[in-house]
Amino acid sequence: MSKIVTIERFILDYQPDYARGEFTNLLYDIALAAKVIAHKTNRAGLTDILGRAGATNIQGEQQQKLDVFADDIIFRICDHTGRLCAMASEEREDFMQIPEPYKKGSYVLVYDPLDGSSNIDVNVSIGTIFGIYRCVDWDLRGRIEDVLQPGRKLVAAGYVLYGSSTMLVYTTGQGVNGFTLDPELGEFLLSHENMRLPEPPAYYSVNHAYYEKWSPATQRYLRWLQGSEGKTGQPMSSRYIGSLVADIHRNLLQGGVFCYPAEVNKPNGKIRLLYEAAPLAFLVEQAGGYASNGYASIMDLQPTDLHQRTPLYIGNRSLVYQAEKFLQEEHSVSGSMTTG
């Protein structure tokens, strides 16, 4: 790159036509929250921040201290700015209206404040995921209907990766761009312009420990990725970090597919539709990829619950299409056997 481009300059230069200040400044707010969280994660081993907070979230999972901190920071940075009508967090049971006397804004923020938090204590990359919608009814202060919107209605989405460096990757529907935080300047600088999933893809990411809990079609798909079941070309390499943001980021740079399939006793999978699957599906689609639950696009799924879960296959289109092919073939056969 021949010039230094800050995230502020980039947002202003490439803001969508409908941006009227609220939207642009909301993206600044998210970048600011990312800086604060990054500062705390980088010092996690030096302060009393590691370990469990002693509570569980709505998912029944142990909250880590840094989970609680990240959730609180995002809420407090965004609740009083007049840009939002509502927020929803994976860590909170209910959605959050913007409290009086703060002005109601035109947008809705959904977020997973700290994805992969089980990796905090072992110094593995973690991340923040976010999605932005327009509120449904601009005359009302904020309702559940504003939050429960399908991915097709997203106007922006992205993630922040806290790793060897801190990166903010986002889209407003005009491609995907990545920014790396310069800790000396305290500023995000454009480092990855117009990110696209490369071909041929290199990796697949899945937790093989659950293989026996998957359907025969899912097992067949995994064997296909490994080079059997009729796959042409080189077998793919397996890479699985266990932090969704980190796995997605690697595949975005090097090509591949991330899978969190349904299990026999968990047909809805594990990934949260609203806070994780839909925002990442929007971003990956803008990078030339595709996301599916195995039968339909994640972008078309209508959430009916704040903490709804979904199976997820996300990455290069050809790889996700193949997963759909195996799963839909199995569904078709089982359906024919039932009717017969």
Q: Are residues 300 and 216 in the same domain?
A: yes
Looking up tokens 């990956």 gives 284
Counting beta carbons within 10 angstroms of the beta carbon of residue 264, is it exposed (0 to 12), middle (13 to 18) or buried (19 or more)? exposed
Give per-residue burial for 63-82: e unless 16+ CB within 10 Å, then b.
bbbbbbbbbebbbebbbebe
Point out the domain boundary residue: 169, 192, 215. 192
Point out the domain boundary residue: 159, 192, 225. 192
Percent of the chain at pLDDT > 90 equals 68
Q: Are residues 208 and 119 in the same domain?
A: no
Q: Are residues 149 and 289 in the same domain?
A: no
Where is pLDDT greater, at 120 or 95? 95
Q: Cα(17)–Cα(154) distance, rounded to whole angstroms?
A: 15
Counting beta carbons within 10 angstroms of the beta carbon of residue 271, is it exposed (0 to 12), middle (13 to 18) or buried (19 or more)? buried
Find the domain containing 140 and state its range: 7-192
Point out the domain boundary residue: 145, 166, 192. 192
Q: Are residues 227 and 126 in the same domain?
A: no
Q: Are residues 221 and 329 in the same domain?
A: yes
Q: Write out pLDDT tens, residues 324-335.
A: 999 999 877 665
Q: Quick check: is 76 in a domain?
A: yes
Mean pLDDT of 260-272: 94
Using alpha carbons only, give the angle 282, 283, 284 rounded to the nearest 5 degrees: 95
* pLDDT tier, 157 (very low <50, low <70, confident <90, very high otherwise): very high
Write the CB contacts of 96 (distance below 8 Å, at least 6 apart in sequence): 75, 79, 86, 87, 88, 89
Q: Are residues 107 and 52 in the same domain?
A: yes
* Contact (CB, 8 A) for 156 and 25: no
* pLDDT tier, 320 (very low <50, low <70, confident <90, very high otherwise): very high
pLDDT computed for residue 164 by the predictor: 87
Q: Quick check: is 43 in a domain?
A: yes
Mean pLDDT of 85-98: 93
Q: Are residues 208 and 268 in the same domain?
A: yes
Q: Quick check: is 118 in a domain?
A: yes
Q: Are residues 125 and 208 in the same domain?
A: no
DSSP per position, 122-179 = GT--EEEEEEEEE-S-TTSS--HHHH---GGGEEEEEEEEESSSEEEEEESSS-EEEE
Q: Quick check: is 1 in a domain?
A: no
The DSSP secondary-structure symbol of 21 reads: S
Q: Cα(93)–Cα(147) distance, rounded to whole angstroms?
A: 13
Q: Write out pLDDT tens, residues 105-145.
A: 899 999 999 998 778 778 889 999 999 999 997 766 789 99
Q: Are residues 167 and 233 in the same domain?
A: no
Residue 334 Cα to chain centre, angstroms: 32
* Contact (CB, 8 A) for 77 and 121: no
Write the CB contacts of 288 (distance below 8 Å, at least 6 apart in sequence): 196, 197, 316, 317
CATH number for the domain spanning 51: value is 3.30.540.10
Q: Quick check: is 286 in a domain?
A: yes
pLDDT computed for residue 111 by the predictor: 98
CATH number for the domain spanning 282: value is 3.40.190.80
pLDDT computed for residue 47 by the predictor: 61
Q: Quick check: is 215 in a domain?
A: yes
Q: Are residues 179 and 312 in the same domain?
A: no
Where is pLDDT greater, at 337 or 19? 19
Q: Are residues 220 and 162 in the same domain?
A: no
**What is the pTM assigned to this prediction?**
0.92
Q: Are residues 28 and 78 in the same domain?
A: yes
pLDDT at 232 > cutoff 80:
no
The DSSP secondary-structure symbol of 105 reads: -
Peptide bond into 113 cis (omega under 30): no
Domains held by the chain: number: 2
Mean pLDDT of 295-318: 97
